[in-house]
Amino acid sequence: MNLCTIPMAVEDPDGDQRWMSIHNRFLSETREKDADVIFIGDSIIQALQHTDVWNEWFAPLHCLNFGIHRDQVQNVLWRIQNGELDHVKPKVIVLHVGTNNHSNSPEEIVNGITEIIKIINEKHSNAYVVVPTLLPRGQYPNPIREKLSQANDLIKKQISQMPKVEVVVIDNGFVQPDGTISHHDMYDYLLLTNAGCRKAFEPVYEMLLQLLNEDEPDKELT
């Protein structure tokens, strides 16, 4: 499968044009709102916007959330190629996608993420890209979880070497010693609870603070 090509049918995965309607709403937001940080990706990103963590940590940093439920790598690539990062000048773009690419190999997933980052760099050469690692999923050990773990190993090796890209490890502490994931962290063993969000996204928040403050001039003492 070529991850750089999105089949037209994927634009309407639910048969009611919601996917394209959401994309068009994001296009409107790029023209109406200024953002220092743009989150873009899948349901992990979409659900984050509806948590206390978003309101407490990320909303004050002037963030936009361009997450869409069930999106795969090729969906996000298409969205970026079709305007979602135009008309904006973010300092940081947070990219999380890949957990839904069940039919692809870890190598294909990471190659797709790499392609997205290249397009981002073409549009915003001065912006940092923050790539949180992919979260484990499923209450018990399963092939998809293992595939995502392998993809994370490749992300750490390959993507972390790209210029102005910061890989942030967010998948630690979710798999318990017996191999299970608690519903206290992921209520459906995929999407995060408020407690799970704090565990996963605190290092992302700390990275954003570091990057956003990097170019701030030191205040003179009076």
Nearest to 43 by CA among 84, 6, 82, 96: 96
In a 13 Å sphere around the CA of 136, the CA atoms on its Cβ side amount to 22
pLDDT in the model for residue 15: 74
pLDDT > 90? residue 140: yes
Nearest to 204 by CA among 180, 175, 171: 171
Tell me, yes or no, if the pTM score tops 0.95.
Answer: no
Q: Rounded to whole angstroms, what are the CA distances from 95 to 58, 175, 178?
A: 14, 23, 30
3-state secondary structure labels for all residues of the chain: CCCCCCCHHHHCCCCCCHHHHHHHHHHHHHHHCCCCEEEEECHHHHHHCCCHHHHHHHHHHCEEEEECCCCCHHHHHHHHHHHHCCCCCCCEEEEECCCCCCCCCHHHHHHHHHHHHHHHHHHCCCCEEEEECCCCCCCCCCHHHHHHHHHHHHHHHHHHHCCCEEEECCCCCCECCCCCECCCCECCCCCECHHHHHHHHHHHHHHHHHHHHHCCCCCCCC
* Residue matched to tokens 């490749």: 154
Q: Which residues, listed in sequence order, are joined to residue 92 by a DSSP beta bridge?
A: 37, 128
Task: Confirm if 170 and 205 have CB atoms less than 8 A apart.
Answer: no
C-alpha 37/C-alpha 208 separation (Å) is 8
Full set of structural domains in the chain with CATH:
3-10+17-210 (3.40.50.1110)
Summarize pLDDT for 163-220 with one digit per residue, the tens.
999 999 999 999 999 999 999 999 999 999 999 999 999 999 999 999 999 866 544 4
pLDDT in the model for residue 8: 41
Summarize pLDDT for 33-60 with one digit per residue, the tens.
999 999 999 999 999 999 999 999 999 9
Rg of the Cα trace of the chain?
Answer: 17
